[in-house]
A and B are shown apart, each in its own frame.
Chain A
Amino acid sequence: MSDRLLAAFPGLRTTSFQITSPPDFAYNCIAWAANDCTEWWWPLDDSRQCFWPVGVERQVTLEAFVLAFQTRGYSVCEDQSLEAGFVKVALFADADRVPTHAARQLPSGRWTSKLGHSEDIGHDLRALEGAIYGSVVLFLKRPA
Chain B
Amino acid sequence: MVKTPLQSPPRSAVNETVEWRLRQFEEQWKAETQFLSDAGRIINHPAFQAIISLGEPVVPFLLTDLESGPSLWVWALPEITGENPVPEADGGNIRKMTDAWLKWGLEKGLR
B49 within 8 A of A: no
Query: Is the beta-carbon distance between A42 and B39 smaller than 8 angstroms?
Result: yes
The CA-CA distance from A132 to B30 in the complex, in Å, is: 15
A60 within 8 A of B: yes
Query: Is the beta-carbon distance between B40 and A26 smaller than 8 angstroms?
Result: no
Q: Is the interface of A mostly helix, strand, loop or mixed?
A: loop
Query: Is the beta-carbon distance between B40 and A52 smaller than 8 angstroms?
Result: no
Query: Is the beta-carbon distance between A117 and B33 smaller than 8 angstroms?
Result: yes
A8 within 8 A of B: yes
**Which residues between 47 and 75 of chain B lie within 8 Å of chain A, taking CB atoms?**
69-72, 74-75
Q: Which residue of B lies closest to A47 (CB)?
A: B91
Query: Is the beta-carbon distance between A49 and B92 smaller than 8 angstroms?
Result: yes
Q: What's the nearest-Cβ distance from chain A to residue B42, in Å?
A: 8
**In the complex, which of the residues B35, B37, B71, B75 has the most CB atoms of chain A within 10 Å of its own CB atom?**
B37
For this complex, into which size category does the number of interface residues on chain B fall?
20 to 34
B12: chain A residues at CB < 8 Å are: none
Query: Is the beta-carbon distance between A26 and B1 smaller than 8 angstroms?
Result: no
Interface string of A100-123 (1 = CB under 8 A from B): 111000000000001111100000
Query: Is the beta-carbon distance between B70 and A48 smaller than 8 angstroms?
Result: no
A46: chain B residues at CB < 8 Å are: 91
Take A25-B72, A26-B70, A26-B94 as given contacts and tell me if A42 and B37 are in contact as well, using a CB distance cutoff of 8 Å.
Answer: yes
Q: What's the nearest-Cβ distance from chain B to residue A41, in Å?
A: 7
Seen from chain B, the residues whose Cβ lies within 8 Å of a Cβ on chain A are 1, 30, 33-40, 42-43, 69-72, 74-75, 78, 84, 86, 88, 90-95
Name 27 interchain pairs, CB-CB below 8 A, sorted by A. A4-B34, A8-B35, A26-B70, A28-B37, A28-B39, A38-B95, A39-B92, A39-B93, A40-B37, A41-B92, A42-B92, A44-B40, A47-B88, A48-B91, A49-B78, A49-B92, A50-B39, A50-B92, A51-B93, A60-B38, A100-B37, A101-B37, A114-B37, A115-B34, A115-B35, A116-B34, A116-B37
